[in-house]
Structure 1
Amino acid sequence: MSADVLPRRSPAAAWLAENGAVVALVVLVVALSLLSGDFLSLTNLLNVGVQAAVTAILAFGSTFVIVTGGIDLSVGSVAALSAISLAWTATSAGLPWPLATLVSLAVGIACGLVSAALIAYGKLPPFIATLAMLGIARGLALVVSEGSPIAMPDAVSELGGTIGAYLPIPLIVMVVMGVIAAVILNRTYPGRAMYAIGGNQEAARLSGIKVDRQLLITYALSGGFAAVAGIVLASRLASAQPQAAAGYELDAIAAVVIGGASLSGGKGRALGTLVGALILAVLRNGLNLLSVSAFWQQVVIGVVIALAVLVDTLRRRGTN
């Protein structure tokens, strides 16, 4: 069939294709509010936001990577190592907590740079490079902490609290990191380069984009966001735990895909990622309120992720 006779999507269908995650979130909220009288309480909604915060921050960093057509399996382990670095340098090394926080962020960024170097210069597939970093970061977290939790400085632990009686600080951090991610993706040269690399890496290279350098920036950002997520998680627990955030990398990737990003690269938005993280948090919270077994919750989450990837696959087929 020639291109001029291909059926065109209606504006409504095009809008739905771009904003399907938002529609799904609204439908989910309405359904759970009808099934559980406690769901729409202010306390529960704020709890959902807090539950989504760490996953969302990790997912913002993963969005950069997935937009380039890559993947980062190490973000959960990097989050744990970064939090351990902060706690250890503030207690055993005696650094003031602001300097310890900078060390923690530097550790996260360094992990991202190592992964990127393996990909850009070592020519390892992103899956293998970040899988290796997953093991390295988790192992270092266990070595530094000797397998035991380390208490966080009191000033940092306050990040897990609230402003006033209700407003959770992790929720504010999530919003701030989301805005930063959106600005990077939409308003900066590295952000535009990420989309170009994800769309066609060779074409991006031929157009003058220094792909290897941009990959270093991309994975460094992912590591930096993972460090922030690790600090927020540790502040909620009041301690840095070497096994913290285990499996969170899968939730982060799921949030990005549910939010409308394409695993083939070139597509993804910070707002969509936030919606994806909220869908996961709302779903888990609602299933808990409905007393659904944790085992079945895993089944439901898996089905949602599979459907999100299937929709992405069908969407890409429809544009080819």
Structure 2
Amino acid sequence: MSIQNPSRFLLNHVGRLDVRRHASAETAALVYRIVLIAAIALALTVATDGFATSANLLNVLRQASLMFLLASGLTLVILSGGFDLSIAANLTLSACLAAGAMKSGGSPMLAVATAMGCGASIGLLNGLAVTLLRLPPFLASYGMLWIVQGLAFHYMGGNEIFGFPAGFRALGTGFWLGVPLPVYMMLAVLIGGTVLTARLNFGREIYAIGANAEAARLSGIPVRNRRIAVYTISGLMAGIAAIVYLARVNAADSAMGEPVLLPAIAAILIGGASLFGGTGTLLGTLFGCVTLALVIDAMNLLNLDANWQPMVVGAILLLAVLADALARRQRARTR
């Protein structure tokens, strides 16, 4: 038997071995996250009267869904070894442009297309800045954050846009079979994203790039194109999250995305992704989103001062970063 591309054959073979080697660890991590969510839910059931109601549980799912829509695209970027700090500003500008389109007489479909196009375009620009200009991902996306946020401030001029058609609002507040529509969107993204990352060559290539970009390039993987693709997907998902967020709150302003950045990043890290790339899953991100949504719900039910809530999320983020660093050191020792 002849092998036309020995490098890619070796990469695929090693990739399969690596997947099998880490399967038990992934299963253990999954069980741990399920137990953690169950423990939080049990504690809230005992400590509060309002947690176990159907209305509250559906609200937790809705909140987790919005968080996951935003975090799913960023998960792919992080898997590839990159980072995108501009997703919240992206959400803001995409939502503001969508709101403006409807207020100018455009249809909800035009608003949806506007938000998705804006989001994907910003993501594409991030990808080009990282690959063609070779800027560090953190700095490139941080600069893009300020540019996009500035555009949102200029577009809105300190005003709000509110009051949208009922058909559009249903995207954020509607139900089907008693379940919020955003939950179905979350499940669709989870299934599609899992197929993309776990079953297709694209996903294996993203993991390979995150683990060792130079080795991936030498094996024949188009590193630049794949990085541009994941940044574009991240921007697109920010645009989709903007649609759901706008439909839910029924108003747009130039600061609406500020509260969602840290929870999205924290959820990804709680879900087991590594800031160094090459490790993590969308299912883990989903569990991270549910865990964080439960924590936020707990703070609301326990009447914790709203000024303390960002501090709690920040502390969780720092602990997740610390756990990631410790896990990386442990893996380095065992190699």
* TM-score normalized by the length of structure 2: 0.86
1:60 maps onto 2:72 in alignment: yes
Aligned to 2:145: 134
Identity among equivalent positions (%) equals 38
1:48–1:285 contact (8 Å) kept in structure 2: yes
Q: Deviations over 1:167-213 (max 9, x none)?
A: 22222222222222222212333222211110000001101111111
2:45–2:52 contact (8 Å) kept in structure 1: yes
In structure 2, runs of 5+ residues without a counterpart are 1-20
1:262–1:312 contact (8 Å) kept in structure 2: yes
2:208–2:278 contact (8 Å) kept in structure 1: yes
Identify the match of residue 88 of structure 1 among 89, 100, 104.
100
Tell me the distance in 2 between the aligned counterparts of 1:22 and 1:301: 20
Identify the match of residue 119 of structure 1 among 116, 130, 133.
130
2:30–2:284 contact (8 Å) kept in structure 1: no
In structure 1, runs of 5+ residues without a counterpart are 1-8
Change in 2 beyond 3 A, CA 1:89/1:292: closer
Tell me the distance in 2 between the aligned counterparts of 1:164 and 1:15: 32
Change in 2 beyond 3 A, CA 1:207/1:252: same
Q: Which runs of 4+ in 1 moved over 6 A?
A: 11-14
| 1:86, distance to aligned residue in structure 2 (A) | 1.6
1:195 maps onto 2:203 in alignment: no
1:97 maps onto 2:73 in alignment: no
Change in 2 beyond 3 A, CA 1:116/1:12: closer
- Corresponding letter in the other structure for 1:187: R
Identify the match of residue 160 of structure 2 among 133, 146, 149.
149
Alignment of 1:1-320 (within 5 A): 15-17=27-29, 19-92=31-104, 94-151=105-162, 152-163=164-175, 166-320=178-332
Tell me the distance in 2 between the aligned counterparts of 1:106 and 1:252: 21
Tell me the distance in 2 between the aligned counterparts of 1:214 and 1:104: 23
Change in 2 beyond 3 A, CA 1:133/1:153: farther
| 1:252, distance to aligned residue in structure 2 (A) | 1.0
| 1:163, distance to aligned residue in structure 2 (A) | 2.2
1:18–1:260 contact (8 Å) kept in structure 2: no
Aligned residues: 310
309-318 or 218-227, which deviates more: 309-318
2:70–2:241 contact (8 Å) kept in structure 1: yes
| 1:238, distance to aligned residue in structure 2 (A) | 1.3
| 1:59, distance to aligned residue in structure 2 (A) | 0.7
